[in-house]
Amino acid sequence: MVSRLYQPFLEYAIAYLQEHLDLQPYPIPPGFESKQATVGKGQRQSEVLTTSKGFQTDKLRQIRAAHVQGGEALQVLNFVIFPRLNYDLPFFGADLVTLPGGHLIALDMQPLFRDDPSYQEKYTQPILPLFESHKQHLPWGGDFPEDAQPFFSPAFLWTRPQKTEVVQERVFAAFQDYLSAYVKLVQAAQPVENPEELLQIKQAQLRYVRYRAEKDPARGMFTRFYGSEWTEEYIHGFLFDLEQTLGSKG
């Protein structure tokens, strides 16, 4: 395996977005830009570094990355884009995880309204050819939490590559393709003005962030490294911060 496995993904994403959109910084709460811990004892002692990046644009409320680096057998990049609430855009969601047990990859444009045929036509159809071309190299990863299914599109890439080269080549290629397709959707997006529709978007976004904050699969890991106070504040105050953001606006 390779340390810094996901660094090229993160660098690519930021550079690509910077090139195509007008990125502005997104505030990261103090203490969360970078966090280090020493884990293990004696010869097995090692460092785990978690760094955060945040951006926003006129159409995207939060573009954020959490990057965990703890040596060859612990590399995580969780990269999510949350559109502003007056756009019906899907979320861009990438969960790229390397643990001692192997690689686990989730990549999707996560729909607000999974079962709405016109929504699917607008936001999933354009991605399906990409999905088809990548899934032949990235077979379905198996067991998947049932309650998470409503949050994924039919173009969901979920795979557990055996080889690191597959991550570096195939997964990286899929990540680039999904990101550029996403940017095209963003560029084409028009603001929603209908109050009924705006309410539905807000509810769908809240459903999504509440689910992800509650079920965050990294909670256990972060709690072990950095304690529960830091972890809960990181989850609710940065990773999935929509509720707090709405709260502070009254």
Q: Is 95 near ligand DBV (CB under 6 A)? A: yes
Size of the site for ligand DBV (CB under 6 A): 21
Q: Is 88 near ligand DBV (CB under 6 A)? A: no
Q: Is 216 near ligand DBV (CB under 6 A)? A: yes
Q: Is 157 near ligand DBV (CB under 6 A)? A: no
49, 34 in Cβ contact below 8 A?
A: yes
Q: Which residues contact 157 (CB under 8 A, 6 or more apart)?
A: 105, 106, 107, 108, 131, 134, 135, 138, 174, 178
Q: Is 212 near ligand DBV (CB under 6 A)? A: yes
Phi, psi at 142, each rounded to 5°: 85, -150
Q: Which is nearer to ligand DBV, 140 or 144 (CB)?
A: 144
In angstroms, the CA 234 to CA 240 distance is 8
**Window of 16-24, 25-33, 118-126, 209-217 that interacts with ligand DBV by CB under 6 A:** 209-217
Q: Which residues contact 221 (CB under 8 A, 6 or more apart)?
A: 68
Minimum distance of ligand DBV from residue 237's CB (angstroms): 13
Minimum distance of ligand DBV from residue 221's CB (angstroms): 5
Please give the structure tokens belonging to residue 38.
Answer: 């020493």
In the chain, count of helices (H) and strands (E)? 9, 8
Compute CA distances 138 → 48, 72, 124, whole Å. Answer: 29, 22, 19
Minimum distance of ligand DBV from residue 79's CB (angstroms): 9
Binding positions for ligand DBV, 28-87, rule CB under 6 A: 66, 76, 78
Q: Is 145 near ligand DBV (CB under 6 A)? A: yes
The residues binding ligand DBV (CB under 6 A) are: 66, 76, 78, 93, 95, 97, 99, 104, 106, 144-145, 148, 151, 211-212, 215-218, 221, 239
